[in-house]
Chain A
Amino acid sequence: MSDPALLSLAQAREVAPRELVQACRARIERWQPRINAFLEVVENPRPGVPLAHKDMFYRAGRVASCGSRIRRDWVANETSAALERLDAAGFGDLGRLNMSEFAYGPTGHNEHFGDCRNPWNPEYITGGSSSGSGAAVAARLVFGALGSDTGGSVRLPAAACGVTGLKTTWGRVSLRGAMPLSHSLDTIGPLARSAEDCAILLQTIAGDGDSREKKEIRIAMSTEWIERYADPQVAAAVLAAAKALDRNALEVEPPDFETLSAHCLVVMQAEASAQHAQWMRERPADYSSAVRARLEAGYAIPAAAYLETLRLRAAWLERFCAQTLGAADLYLLPTIPVPLPTREQTGPKGGADMPRLLSDLTRLTRWVNYLGVPALALPCGFDARGLPMSLQLVGRPFSEALLLAAGRQYQRATDWHQRLPA
């Protein structure tokens, strides 16, 4: 292969870091004007296989803008636990990646630093909030990137940009030194070119990522729901992927997506608004109108409703594991059930249809965060417009290894994850 930036992460570890950095820098020069994935490319990156991360992972002495005007010049005084582990393992860090303001948006718009744009077609959203992570990995500017996932923020950009993204079990990866959004829901996970590469990064940041085959993997799914509610192209791609993974998948009743999504929103809004209370009182005009509006809404969540929602969480988790998964290992569904919208449709000038578009986008991701279970987003095809489609596998708590094994098995049989944006 002529361009070392196109190697897998595992292969790249055998190449001299200087050569890899040069190759990635050349691609950044070419792609950055088109996709705006980086907020900063560092001059002298630490040596190692080049990664870069969502700009909410603190590194002592470096700016961590969190995609916001409020923290545009804020310098962290500690390094996040996840970055410390990557440093110790010898990975490089090429710079800071674009993200939705304070990780509080599902599309990748950012009015302070400019929208991150989809490498497959810059008119379309990247998904968010880990927008730069998805775009940079898809364009092969880095070999992997960390993101955070509170309501879908790893899986949505992974899906929209055609890369592999892992939402970890709540509590699996240390949140120390990562910007908080909603402490009951926040998780950290990798976006990379394959499940195998995600496993390497997970193993580094959490000490677990073994994706070796362990047993025959049993899938549960709800074909009728997918056929009825997902876009026909998405449904066809996801159902084909299900066949490739398990020809005898178990048919089960779908989880109560609507109730679980509502619970996720109640928790997320209450906690995010509490987190931002001081700035919302003192400098509300420094937020974008979209983020300010989301934060305002959280102050109308009654404390009793918030706490009752959290009291219900264990019961819902037990029900998902016992009834939805039952004898199966993983539950399969689309990551994004609808055609990807454009940046214009979902941006500041979006029309009356925008709330529905945003709700459709996160319909199948938020419920996972309320349960706190892990999920893997995998590319599973391209629609008629040439935009990626993605399937989602959801497992029991701490079943990341099994998810990654299933992902690896699927990616051995398909090549969707190897396709490159032109």
Chain B
Amino acid sequence: MVTVTILWSAEAIETALAAQGIALASGRAERIARAQQALLEAAAADPLRATLTFDANPAGYPAALESCR
């Protein structure tokens, strides 16, 4: 299973945020890259990811809330 979805670097963060019109405070890009890399790796390591069916979509969540009452 692929567990890393993206490899963030400070340069990539600066470019990605600039493309969205967000000016970064100085020295922030590197910290964001480190933090977000770790966060996305933790999310990507989800053991249920491999079992997710093709048809699962976010709109199914309210129905799950009801059925789990």
Q: Are A284 and B47 in contact (CB under 8 A)?
A: no
Chain A positions within 8 Å of B58 at CB level: 184, 307, 310-311, 313
Can you list 29 A-B contacts with CB-CB less than 8 angstroms, sorted by A residue number?
Answer: A171-B62, A262-B43, A263-B46, A266-B43, A269-B39, A284-B22, A293-B25, A296-B17, A296-B25, A299-B16, A299-B20, A300-B16, A300-B33, A300-B36, A301-B36, A302-B40, A304-B5, A305-B43, A309-B43, A310-B61, A311-B58, A314-B63, A315-B48, A315-B51, A315-B56, A321-B68, A396-B69, A398-B65, A399-B69
Q: Are A262 and B42 in contact (CB under 8 A)?
A: yes
Q: Are A396 and B43 in contact (CB under 8 A)?
A: no
Is A372 part of the binding interface, using a Cβ–Cβ cutoff of 8 Å?
A: yes
Q: How many residues on B have C-beta within 8 angstroms of the other chain's C-beta atoms?
A: 43
In angstroms, Cα B13 to Cα A170, docked, is 32
- CB within 8 Å: A-B pair count: 116
Chain B positions within 8 Å of A310 at CB level: 58, 61
When C-beta atoms are compared, the residue in chain A nearest to B51 turns out to be: A315
In angstroms, Cα B61 to Cα A311, docked, is 8
Is A31 part of the binding interface, using a Cβ–Cβ cutoff of 8 Å?
A: no
State the Cβ distance, B52 to closest chain A Cβ, in Å. 6
Is A12 part of the binding interface, using a Cβ–Cβ cutoff of 8 Å?
A: no
Q: What is the 8 Å Cβ interface bit string for chain A, positions 92-110, against chain B (1 contact, 0 not)?
A: 0000000000000000000
Q: Are A314 and B64 in contact (CB under 8 A)?
A: yes
In the complex, which residues 271-314 of chain A have their Cβ closer than 8 Å to any Cβ of chain B?
Answer: 277, 280-281, 284, 289, 292-293, 296-297, 299-302, 304-305, 307-314
In angstroms, Cα B49 to Cα A262, docked, is 14
State the Cβ distance, B57 to closest chain A Cβ, in Å. 6
- The main secondary structure of chain B at its interface with chain A is helix
In angstroms, Cα B48 to Cα A263, docked, is 12
Q: What is the 8 Å Cβ interface bit string for chain A, positions 176-197, against chain B (1 contact, 0 not)?
A: 0000000010000000000000
In angstroms, Cα B48 to Cα A372, docked, is 18
Q: What is the 8 Å Cβ interface bit string for chain B, positions 4-16, against chain A (1 contact, 0 not)?
A: 0110100001001
Interface centre among B13, B17, B44, B68 (most CB of A within 10 A): B68
Q: Are B43 and A372 in contact (CB under 8 A)?
A: no
- The main secondary structure of chain A at its interface with chain B is helix
State the Cβ distance, A215 to closest chain B Cβ, in Å. 16
In the complex, which residues 311-326 of chain A have their Cβ closer than 8 Å to any Cβ of chain B?
Answer: 311-319, 321
Given A262-B42, A262-B43, A319-B48, are A311 and B13 neighbors across the interface (CB < 8 Å)?
no
In angstroms, Cα B23 to Cα A305, docked, is 23
Partner of A262, one of B8, B39, B51: B39
Q: Are B5 and A302 in contact (CB under 8 A)?
A: yes
Q: How many residues on A have C-beta within 8 angstroms of the other chain's C-beta atoms?
A: 46
Q: Which residues does A use to contact B, with CB under 8 Å?
A: 169-171, 184, 256, 258-259, 262-263, 265-266, 269, 277, 280-281, 284, 289, 292-293, 296-297, 299-302, 304-305, 307-319, 321, 372, 396-399
Q: Which residues does B use to contact A, with CB under 8 Å?
A: 5-6, 8, 13, 16-17, 20-25, 28, 31-33, 35-36, 39-40, 42-49, 51-52, 56-58, 60-69
Interface centre among A277, A311, A321, A372 (most CB of B within 10 A): A311
Top 7 closest pairs, chain A to chain B, by CB: A314-B64, A310-B58, A262-B42, A281-B21, A321-B68, A397-B65, A300-B36
Given A297-B35, A302-B6, A308-B49, are A372 and B61 neighbors across the interface (CB < 8 Å)?
yes
State the Cβ distance, A345 to closest chain B Cβ, in Å. 19
Q: A312-B52, A314-B64 are in contact. List 20 more A-B contacts (CB 8 A).
A: A259-B47, A281-B21, A284-B23, A284-B25, A289-B25, A292-B25, A296-B32, A297-B36, A300-B17, A302-B40, A304-B5, A305-B43, A305-B44, A310-B58, A314-B60, A315-B51, A315-B52, A317-B61, A396-B68, A397-B68
State the Cβ distance, A384 to closest chain B Cβ, in Å. 34
Q: Are A305 and B40 in contact (CB under 8 A)?
A: yes
Given A281-B21, A299-B17, A308-B49, are A318 and B64 neighbors across the interface (CB < 8 Å)?
yes
Given A259-B46, A296-B22, A300-B17, are A311 and B39 neighbors across the interface (CB < 8 Å)?
no
In angstroms, Cα B10 to Cα A150, docked, is 29
When C-beta atoms are compared, the residue in chain A nearest to B63 turns out to be: A314
In angstroms, Cα B22 to Cα A414, docked, is 51
Chain B positions within 8 Å of A307 at CB level: 58
State the Cβ distance, A261 to closest chain B Cβ, in Å. 8
When C-beta atoms are compared, the residue in chain A nearest to B21 turns out to be: A281
Q: Are B61 and A314 in contact (CB under 8 A)?
A: yes
Chain A positions within 8 Å of B32 at CB level: 296-297, 300
Q: Are B68 and A318 in contact (CB under 8 A)?
A: yes
